[in-house]
A and B are shown apart, each in its own frame.
Chain A
């Protein structure tokens, strides 16, 4: 068991190191911008004195290394600084309610994005597993070919195409679901679910294909093993052979691909959120990219990267844990 523990600790350390380096990359990338926050807030008619004053207030006169550590320290405590869009207002009104802080803008939207990702995962994972098992069971049949074509098409279509097709058929021509997901904080769960369903279905279509193909491939890989042959010769039904004998052994790659797709779900929401005007973190990110609201862009980028790295790390650790050869060393 000690062996596994060391490997996992190594992976964890490596993951956090990666996260640290990624935060440096994001910070440096943003600092490549010409001018700085002070000039951007004050605009073109700024006097040198007022620029210097704001620089001092925001700590922009400090060297870059110092600024990086204070930004990182703040980010770790959930303080991402203040957003450009709101900072100027807060200065004028003299209010210090924290309305302009990036953290306050992000927090509710982060919850919304997590909700969307959770709903899509709850639909996609069981659906993909069942489809994958069925495709492996009836491999090379018409059903298998049809699902192959269908999944390949949905993987390679852009998300906005799938989104508009779903809007067309499920919201416009047959008004079953709303095409715009306006979500408020104090909304009943069922309402919220109804408004989230269409974006979640779009994401499901994108993610299911990959998971289903990997499930099918993982199971089929095992079908030539001697113990599968044995189970078949015993007279087991094909479904039982796959569910009882092949599936447990194919679990490691399947868990891995599920975790990778969950990572994709959290980062791939950007386009879908924009199409459905879903008030999530992806939409905030795109809006701040357009308005060059750098503190928000920086914070969103860090959050997305952290979610992505953590989920990939989980996938890594899960696949180590599900390998019995590593769990029970000789």
Chain B
């Protein structure tokens, strides 16, 4: 801690010196003359951070296993960052030169973060759709003749098995297969939940906007009350009740979870679609359609919906993130997606304890971090894309 503070103070001195040296060497060029101290400090800090990263990366490649183990995760993070950055750049280059005129133009103005997001979403969709071809074993398959908790890494000297590159879990299922199937279950269930939430919240919101009056009041007050309860807490409360009812009714608990989260999240969708719908309902073309004698369904889905797609699409991305994270949290707490379905949140809960052994053998800690990282990576990717979409549609430049 003291060393860290000393280093920060040292940077301040170096930054002052750097600016002064720059002024002297260039004969007070405007760039150095007008440089604020904060900018100079930022340069020095960034250089120091980069030097440290390179040093840590080289430590991670050191031949001494004790040192290399300590920096193993930093090394992987740095390598992952570089690989993903190059991948996103290549993907954007690909998009700029292949495809129709419209997509080419889209890719031309795209920041690297957004192309990274789109690339990751495509990869997840691919893995989710083809999970049964990609996974070497079944998701609930307990492999015979193989001990439980095989060391990840496939290094026989350390107790691994090359057939199971990420090892096996506490009852002898292949972790790599479960990770791959997790894409299907976790992402698929989150997507289905979001779609239900949108169907429910969107149609209710448009209905309230077109009809107004007591229905609008009633729905809005119900939504107000539901939104006043923190969503994770409410979901946990309702899941307690569902966990009692599920076995009695013979319906899997997962279906209850989908319904509960869809209803809770549809309140947020309702708010947005009602607000968007209200600004559309007062337009002349709605009046014209009403005078033509069009029915309620036509008004809602043929007149209002097409004009509300842009904000609803951005909201869909954000909502998906929230639903996805809520489901992951519920599963992590043990009341979400139930076994034998493979799911990332449950995997983190089951394997999380292995993180504590990372200093002896870093590979042991990778499965829980990979499962949690898979959740984080998809949520980050979707958020990057939504951020870009919002930025584009708002036309913000400064």
Contact = CB atoms under 8 A, between A and B. Distances in A.
Contacts of A161: 348, 369, 372-373, 375-376
Contacts of A115: none
A32 to B, nearest CB: 6
B138 interface: no
Contacts of B39: 138
B352 interface: yes
Contacts of B228: 18-19, 21-22, 305, 308-309, 312
A267 B375 CA distance: 21
Contacts of B384: 152
A18 B228 CA distance: 7
Nearest to B396: A220
B102 interface: no
A274 interface: yes
A136 B261 CA distance: 36
A158 B236 contact: no
Contact of A289 (B224, B236, B379): B236
Interface residues of A, number: 65
Interface string A273-308: 011000000000110011010100100110011001
Interface residues of B, number: 57
A157 interface: yes
Nearest to B375: A158
Contacts of A142: 46
A230 interface: no
Contacts of B225: 18, 21-22, 25
Contact of B352 (A171, A263, A275): A275
B365 A168 contact: yes
B244 A292 contact: yes
B230 interface: yes
Interface string A28-55: 0110111000000000000000000000
Nearest to A268: B232
Contacts of B38: 134, 137-138, 239
A227 interface: no
A184 B372 CA distance: 30
Given A157-B376, A172-B358, A271 B333 contact: yes
B380 A304 contact: no
Contacts of A304: 230, 233
A164 B355 contact: yes
A312 B42 CA distance: 37
B335 A308 contact: no
Contacts of A169: 73
Which has the most chain B C-beta neighbours within 10 Å: A25, A34, A157, A160?
A160
A287 to B, nearest CB: 10
B238 interface: yes
A30 B241 contact: yes
Contacts of A275: 352
Interface in B217-264: 224-226, 228-230, 232-234, 236-241, 243-245, 248
Contacts of A10: none
B229 A270 contact: no
Given A158-B372, A267-B230, A308-B228, A153 B380 contact: yes
A138 B46 CA distance: 14
A226 to B, nearest CB: 16
Given A30-B241, A34-B244, A160-B332, A153 B236 contact: no
Interface in B327-363: 328-329, 332-335, 345, 348, 352, 355-359
Nearest to B1: A176
Contacts of B245: 33-34
Given A18-B224, A271-B333, A301 B237 contact: yes
Contacts of B70: 173-174
Contact of B229 (A22, A174, A300): A22
A238 interface: yes
Contacts of B355: 164, 167-168, 172
A158 B325 contact: yes
A26 interface: yes
Instruction: Provide the main secondary structure of the chain A interface.
Output: helix
A225 to B, nearest CB: 13
B383 interface: yes
B368 interface: yes
Nearest to A307: B230
B163 interface: no
A119 interface: no
B23 interface: no
A156 B379 contact: yes
Contact of A270 (B233, B248, B369, B387): B233
A289 B244 contact: no
B208 interface: no
Nearest to B231: A267
Nearest to A26: B237
B383 A155 contact: yes
A120 interface: no
Contacts of B224: 18
Contacts of A297: 236-237, 240
7 closest A-B pairs by beta carbon, nearest first, are A161-B372, A157-B376, A267-B230, A156-B379, A156-B383, A161-B376, A304-B233
Given A138-B39, A161-B369, A167-B355, 17 more contacts: A21-B228, A22-B225, A29-B238, A152-B387, A153-B380, A155-B383, A160-B348, A161-B348, A164-B368, A168-B73, A168-B358, A271-B329, A289-B236, A289-B239, A297-B236, A308-B230, A309-B228
Interface of B: 36, 38-39, 42, 46, 70, 73, 113, 224-226, 228-230, 232-234, 236-241, 243-245, 248, 321, 325, 328-329, 332-335, 345, 348, 352, 355-359, 365, 368-369, 372-373, 375-376, 379-380, 382-384, 387, 398
16 contacts: A18-B228, A19-B228, A34-B244, A134-B38, A137-B38, A142-B46, A149-B113, A156-B325, A158-B345, A161-B348, A164-B355, A164-B369, A172-B355, A172-B356, A286-B334, A308-B229
